[in-house]
Structure 1
Amino acid sequence: MTHSQARTDSLPSIEGTAHLCLLDGPYVVDNGRRFLVPEGSERLLVFVALRNGQAVSRRKVAGTLWPSVTEDRAAGNLRTALWRLRSSGIHILDAERHTLSVRVGTSIDVFTIDAWAGRLVDGSADHDDISIRHFHPAAIELLPGWYDDWIIFERERIRQKLLHALEILSERLAQEGRFGEAIEAAMTATEIDPLRESAQRTLILIHLSEGNFAQARHTYTAYSRLLESELGIAPAPELARLVHSVR
């Protein structure tokens, strides 16, 4: 889709706060107005944004985004991309003489969900964090169709972190007796990565905790068949013992 012209729509927003949306984006919401990012500036904005507040040198940005042209041409491309952003009404990049960074106070949705996942993983989650509503499916496949190395790395980093977080979330929910939500979180993880044994184990354990022994065996059987079909292997013996020990 061509983003040669910014489109603005009225959206709810905290006045004075800008939001950079990379999930289902990129686009920017600033003072309640939505701005599409010009096509020629998308990679620039995303590259700087993924530094998560850290400043990055102009030379590094230009060299990474335009590696096949001369240094002067890359610097010129960078200036053009910055001009396109400003012309579109997007003013969330601070352009210093030698560095670029996202304006202080700008929220970036991918790092909001990343922070939530981090609290679950490191054990610092509070009661409000123990909810599947914080999960955004688009975070699993950050900017699909983008194949730059720096995007692929960040996409996989976030994906793995969220999978760990979903497993922990499902366990915490089960401990609180919120089995419906626990099953949803665990099944979300298994849908994202059906071959992931830790996610399947978590789902099976929740079924067992709820007393749904037949469902636990059904899940195990389906997983066993999938492993055999895809990889020609069987589940870990510990998982088999867990299920078959149930009478």
Structure 2
Amino acid sequence: MPETDLRAFRLTLLGMFRLTGLQGDVRLPGSVQRVVAFLALRGGSGRSRLAGAFWPDQGEGQALSNLRTAVWRANRALPGLVLTEPRALWLSPEVQVDAQRMTALAHATLSGAGPSRDPIELLGLDGELLPDWEDEWLVVDRERLLQLRLHVLEALAEQLAVQGAYGLAMEAAIAARRGDELRESAHRAVIKVHVAEGNAGLAEQAYQRCLAVLGRELGMRPSAETSALVAAARRSVVN
């Protein structure tokens, strides 16, 4: 029997859990999905730690037995999906994981190394991390990925505006604002793109939206940085 090429498999965690290969979806039981997702997001994990995270109300022996069963089911569905050692487990690094890809692209963008040469992929990596799951351990990962995405969208908008790619810059800025309407820096990213493109009127509209949202929801006004940006755009029209 030929060895499975795991590089042909994609694990989706943004928006839903889905493991897909050339022949379609690989179906995994819920408990197995959670083990796979944990390994994809957290990296290698000790068996005891993983068993305790998912079966905290059971004794260590039973929890480890449940973990062994979950790993067996994972590798039965897709041989080599979970790599095993006596005390630790890993997800195969050959499987493509959308959350990992987004993180890598985000770090490259924030460090100035890219991905401005091809921003479409980053813009397409959208969606909340496993939104239908209520697992407590996911709270930290959800917040981490959300904040990383918002920061990188704002940075991407600025990079693209400098390059004159105003359409893509605005798409990134609006995606950041849509991700968190109360985030003033996301509103400011939209304003900056309008200003860079010479659209003072649209910059004013975006500022008024920011003013209304922050005032209504938080009882606050925009910062001096945001206000100064719009004031400069107003002066450019007068002059």
Q: Deviations over 1:162-184 (max 9, x none)?
A: 11111111111111111111111
Gaps of 5+ in 2: none
Name the structure 1 match of 2:89. Answer: 100
SS at match of 1:36: coil
Could you tell me which amino acid in structure 2 is paired with residue 29 of structure 1?
A: T
Q: Give the counterpart of 1:37 among 28, 41, 53.
A: 28
Distance in 2 (CA, whole Å) between partners of 1:150 and 1:84 is 22
Letter in 1 for 2:106: A
CA–CA distance in structure 2, aligned partners of residues 100 and 15 of structure 1: 20
Distance 1:204 1:172 in 2: 14
Could you tell me how far apart the structure 2 residues matched to 1:15 and 1:78 are? Answer: 25
Give runs of ≥4 in structure 1 deviating > 4 Å: none
Q: Do residues 64 (structure 1) and 64 (structure 2) align? A: no
Structure 1 Cα separation of the partners of residues 213 and 116 of structure 2: 36
Shift of 1:239: 1.7
Q: Which amino acid aligns with 1:238?
A: E
Residue aligning to 1:110? 99
SS at match of 1:50: helix
Q: Give the C-alpha shift of residue 191 in structure 1.
A: 0.8
CA distance in 2, matches of 1:104, 1:137: 19
In structure 1, what is the Cα distance between the partners aligned to 2:137 and 2:100?
A: 16
State yes or no: 1:135 paired with 2:135. Answer: no
- Judged with a 3 Å threshold, the aligned counterparts in structure 2 of structure 1 residues 188 and 237 are, in CA distance, closer, same or farther, namely same
Counterpart CA distance in 1 for 2:133 and 2:126 is: 14
Number of matched pairs: 230
| Aligned residue number for residue 82 of structure 1 | 71
TM-score normalised according to structure 1 size = 0.85
The 1:103/1:189 distance shift into structure 2, 3 A limit, reads same
Give 1:152's aligned amino acid.
V
Secondary structure of residue in 1 paired with 2:221: coil
Q: Write the distance in 2 (CA, Å) between the matches of 1:71 and 1:226.
A: 50
CA contact (8 A) 2:105 2:115 kept: no
Question: Retained in 1: the 8 A contact 2:116–2:160?
Answer: no
Structure 1: runs of 5+ lacking an equivalent: 1-13
Match of 1:219 in 2: 206
* SS of alignment partner, residue 128 of structure 1: coil
Structure having the higher helix fraction is: 2
Instruction: Name the CA shift for 1:34/1:145 in 2 (closer, same or farther; >3 Å).
Output: closer
- Distance in 1, matches of 2:173 and 2:84, equals 43
Match of residue 121, structure 1, among 84, 92, 110: 110
RMSD after superposition: 2.0
What CA distance in whole angstroms lies between the structure 2 residues aligned with 1:187 and 1:83? 44
Aligned residue in 1 for 2:12? 21
TM-score (norm 2): 0.88
Summarize deviations over 1:174-203 as a string: whole Å, max 9, x none: 111111111111011011111111111121
Q: CA contact under 8 A between 1:95 and 1:101: conserved in structure 2?
A: yes
